Structure 1
Amino acid sequence: MRHHDLVVIGAGSGNAVVDDSFADLDVAIVEERWFGGTCLNAGCIPSKMLAYTAHVARTVREAGAYDVDAELRAVRWREARDRVFGRLDAERDSGRRSRMADDAVTVYEGRARFTGPRALRIDRADGALDVSAGQIVIAAGGRPLVPGPVTEAGLPYETSDTVMRIEAPPRHLAILGGGYIAAELAEVFAEAGSSITIVEKEERLLGPQDETVAERFTELVRNRYDLRLGREVTAVGGRPGGLRLTLDDGSTVEADMLLVAVGRAPNSDRLNLEAAGIATHDDGRVIVDEHQRTTAAGVFALGDICSPVPLKHVANREAEVVSHNLRNPDGLISADHGLVPAAVFTQPQIASVGATEQDCREKGLDYRAGMASYSDIAHGWAMEDTTGFCKVLAEPGTGRLLGAHLMGPQAPTLIQPLVLAATMGIDAVTLAKSPYWIHPALTEVVEKALLDLRL
């Protein structure tokens, strides 16, 4: 049995664990599918590159609002797809080649599963290999969830892993799910020419968002898509290219393609964790402590397989923590998941950090809400924006920021001063009144929302 000082399972954010400080160790990386992980190959990066293409198309189509005569002829889907994945596949292959050429790191291409404490069997194309390690990092990520009625039908469907690489946009795309993945990909394919039906079991899209964001976004897209809210799919029938979804109210949806975007599941069930004494939560996430250590000695975990916040920037932070802790057992550090910002790259864009207003009510918190609209500021006038807004939540008396939510152009950028203030303990009054806020810039919507708190 080959023994390594360290084995990392997963070459997404797991690949970032190993840097030059590990040069004195015998290190191995096991990757079953994609170097660069979901983010590079089928997640945040390609979806945002295609979302930006959709944004450009929509800008051209709506140019008349700014007294500009323009005509959108078409989104050249195949060329756009090849531009995106031509670049990303090259990045993936370059990263793979770089690791395989690294004399300090052994790369195993295959699926790893535990056979005992810090012992693995790696199933490769050329046969199984058993290895052991002094320390192991689990960074095996997650995969799209697919409901039973879809798998049982035996008919073709797409997920976020596959749909961005299709040859042509469907005439009619049915999307199962109403979260951020569904919302972003709906816009991508709508601008590429597909008609869209969204089937979502909740009564509004983007349910985990602040209630004002979810309500307003849902209303904004009602005239763009066929929304079947409060509904679930009970059966999928028809034929490839001519699907029929039956919903729980007896209604049907006809589509030539189905995209399943109901959520993601950690890949923990593929690793035989019980053999190594590694415990999981009820939802399958690997249990870790504040230092990313699992319940098995010498085994760490990071990213979507364990994190309560399955986002790439969280996985990257956890990779930094694990990298440090592997080398510094007497000086462990941790990642704080209390204030993690997130964004949805739709039109309008959405960004959030901290508590929602419904969170505050459910927890019985004393809070105040401040609101400002893009139409309240001069740059909003320039953009002819009538729907964007900023909402901030703060504690009376102290002014402590509890949460912030934006919907509108550049929301993921505009929220960053609020993320910084909440993280660093800067109160709302200080943030609003101490720094200068550039006029006329979009950041004034944040300033006005803070002042609207009237603390």
Structure 2
Amino acid sequence: MTPAQQDSPADGPAPSARRHDLVVVGAGTGNALVDDRFAHLDVAVVAEGPFGGTCLNTGCIPSKMLAVTADVADAVRDAGRHDADATLHRLRWPDVQRRVFGRLDAVSGKEEDRRRSSPFVTVHRGTARFTGARRLCVETAEGPLDVTGRRVVLAAGGRPTVPPAVADSGLPYETSDTVMRTPVPPAHLAVLGGGYIAAELAHVFHAAGSRITIIEQREQLLTDQDEDVSAAFTRAVESRYDLRLGRELTRVEGAPGALRLVLDDGAVVAADTLLVAVGRRPNTDRLAVEKGGIACTDEGLVRVDGQMRTSAEGVWALGDIVTGVPLKHVANREADVVAHNLLHPGTPRTMSYDAVPSGVFTRPQIAKVGLTEQDARAQGIDHQVAVHRYEDVAYGWALENTEGFCKILAERSTGRLLGAHLIGPQAAALLQPLVLAMAIGMTAHEAARRQLWIHPALTEVVENTLLGLRTE
């Protein structure tokens, strides 16, 4: 028996099969883990969607480029609070789209070209499903192709969830994958969902001139945030949006461009466009992972250990498809761990999900790390809380901001930082010193006193919140 036969799955590859040392399923973060350190291997990237994945094409980057544009438009509208007379004529939506997607589509195309020209990478374009251990059938434009790998990295991501009331209606709807490329901002955009995707895209289209209605089952928006932040955000947007909270969508009626959304209380929302933003689901159901011996949770997330290994020998996984935290910066770190462990199996690294920060780029901006106050109560942790408002520091005066605040939780007996939450301008940037402090184990007192804080920068709101925590 030859070495190649020894490494083959039990049933053996078909004569037309392609064999590789490493097969990466997914052209987003999975593709990004392959660099020149892998040049001694025969690597394949199996790509269904555009290179760059969700983040580059339909997620983090375009939504934030659009959110910054919305921030600029809102700043013009709000100029009066700074005694400046300004009027927003219009937001040139087609020009905005050309600027955003003209740039991002070019980046995606160049990355695919770079991969195709690589001497050690083969690109298989098509949809993949497992047919056995480390063996895939890739449906390409030229027909099915059997692909096997000595090792496989599964990074196939996820997609928007669409509830049956929408999917079964036969009427058109948008998701985060499609709505940012709509040629004209809707006159009236109904948003189904109250999470971060809903909040960010509502902000974008409100700035573009759309009337916004948000339909959310829970009584507040952004309920995965700290309870005080969730309440503050809901109050902040209730004058801008039509909020239908504590309500469920039961059916969609009408016609394209003239939708009627029937709610569980009998109310009807008339809108020309429906954006479904109720969450995302992993793509495992499209991959026949069970045939590859890959165990998943009931929600379809791939189970991985600390080294990002799946239950199948020689198969790793990362990103939105696994049981970690579905954020791009987390996926990047997971990719670092997987790449190291592929190259250095004798000295493996372990992924840590301690002190994972996140941001919501809406208006007002939101950022968090660690436990919420409701988490701390549920876990029975004896904790203390400090809150400091933007309006109580000098730069907050300059901003004329009356709604922003910083909230920090610490263990009462030791001052150990448990969680931090900001709502207001620059929240995501202001959070970072707290992420660092938590990551290296600084107490609240140490984080406040072992560094100087620029006066009168907005970071003083973080400093003063830390100083409000006392070790008892």
In structure 2, which of residues 334, 338, 343 is the aligned counterpart of residue 318 of structure 1? 334
Residues of 2 paired with 1:347 and 1:103: CA distance? 46
Please name the residue that 1:51 is paired with: 67
In structure 2, which of residues 170, 183, 203 is the aligned counterpart of residue 187 of structure 1? 203
Pairing of 1:249-328 with structure 2 (within 5 A): 249-328=265-344
Structure 2 SS opposite 1:364: coil
Residues of 2 paired with 1:49 and 1:253: CA distance? 30
Question: Which amino acid is the alignment partner of residue 414 of structure 2?
Answer: T
Runs (4 or more) in structure 1 with deviation over 3 Å come to none
In structure 2, which of residues 260, 277, 294 is the aligned counterpart of residue 244 of structure 1? 260
Q: How far apart are residue 338 of structure 1 and its match? A: 2.1
Residues of 2 paired with 1:189 and 1:360: CA distance? 35
**Structure 2 residue runs without a partner (length 5+):** 1-16
TM-score normalised over the length of structure 1: 0.99
Please name the residue that 1:381 is paired with: 397
Residues of 1 paired with 2:458 and 2:210: CA distance? 32
Residue 123 (structure 1) aligned with residue 145 (structure 2): no
Residues of 2 paired with 1:346 and 1:2: CA distance? 46
Question: Which amino acid is the alignment partner of residue 397 of structure 2?
Answer: W
Residues of 2 paired with 1:342 and 1:94: CA distance? 29
Please name the residue that 1:137 is paired with: 153
Q: How far apart are residue 303 of structure 1 and its match? A: 0.2
Please name the residue that 1:89 is paired with: 105
Residue 355 (structure 1) aligned with residue 360 (structure 2): no
Residues of 1 paired with 2:147 and 2:193: CA distance? 40
2:415–2:470: 8 Å Cα contact kept in structure 1? Answer: no
Please name the residue that 1:105 is paired with: 121
2:296–2:302: 8 Å Cα contact kept in structure 1? Answer: yes
RMSD of aligned residue pairs (Cα, Å): 0.6
Q: How far apart are residue 331 of structure 1 and its match? A: 0.8
Count of residues paired in the alignment: 455
Residues of 2 paired with 1:375 and 1:265: CA distance? 40
Q: How far apart are residue 255 of structure 1 and its match? A: 0.2
Residues of 1 paired with 2:33 and 2:92: CA distance? 39
The one-character-per-residue Cα deviations of 1:37-91 (angstroms, maximum 9, x if unpaired) are 0000000000000000000000001101101111100001111011100000000
Question: Which amino acid is the alignment partner of residue 281 of structure 2?
Answer: A
Structure 2 SS opposite 1:337: coil
Structure 1 SS opposite 2:230: helix
Question: Which amino acid is the alignment partner of residue 273 of structure 1?
Answer: V
Please name the residue that 2:188 is paired with: 172
Structure 1 SS opposite 2:168: helix
Structure 2 SS opposite 1:153: coil
The one-character-per-residue Cα deviations of 1:185-233 (angstroms, maximum 9, x if unpaired) are 0010001000000000010000000000000100110000000000110
Structure 2 SS opposite 1:368: strand
Please name the residue that 1:32 is paired with: 48
Residues of 2 paired with 1:243 and 1:18: CA distance? 45
Please name the residue that 1:6 is paired with: 22
Question: Which amino acid is the alignment partner of residue 363 of structure 1?
Answer: Q
Residue 438 (structure 1) aligned with residue 459 (structure 2): no
Residues of 2 paired with 1:434 and 1:139: CA distance? 41
The one-character-per-residue Cα deviations of 1:272-298 (angstroms, maximum 9, x if unpaired) are 111111110111100100000000000
Question: Which amino acid is the alignment partner of residue 217 of structure 2?
Answer: K
Question: Which amino acid is the alignment partner of residue 17 of structure 1?
Answer: L
Please name the residue that 1:161 is paired with: 177
Per mean C-alpha deviation after superposition, the further-off stretch among 203-212 and 430-439 is 430-439
2:51–2:108: 8 Å Cα contact kept in structure 1? Answer: yes
The one-character-per-residue Cα deviations of 1:385-416 (angstroms, maximum 9, x if unpaired) are 00000000001221100000000110000000
Residues of 1 paired with 2:305 and 2:380: CA distance? 28
Please name the residue that 1:329 is paired with: 345
Instruction: Give aligned-pair identity as a percent.
Output: 61
Residues of 2 paired with 1:343 and 1:221: CA distance? 17
Residues of 2 paired with 1:315 and 1:454: CA distance? 36
Residues of 2 paired with 1:57 and 1:441: CA distance? 24
Question: Which amino acid is the alignment partner of residue 384 of structure 1?
Answer: E
Structure 2 SS opposite 1:415: helix
Structure 2 SS opposite 1:296: coil
The one-character-per-residue Cα deviations of 1:142-200 (angstroms, maximum 9, x if unpaired) are 00000000011000000000000000001100000000000000010001000000000
Residues of 2 paired with 1:139 and 1:396: CA distance? 41
Question: Which amino acid is the alignment partner of residue 390 of structure 1?
Answer: C
Please name the residue that 1:232 is paired with: 248
Q: How far apart are residue 308 of structure 1 and its match? A: 2.7
**Structure 1 residue runs without a partner (length 5+):** none
The one-character-per-residue Cα deviations of 1:9-30 (angstroms, maximum 9, x if unpaired) are 0010001121111111111000
Residues of 2 paired with 1:306 and 1:430: CA distance? 35
Please name the residue that 2:6 is paired with: none
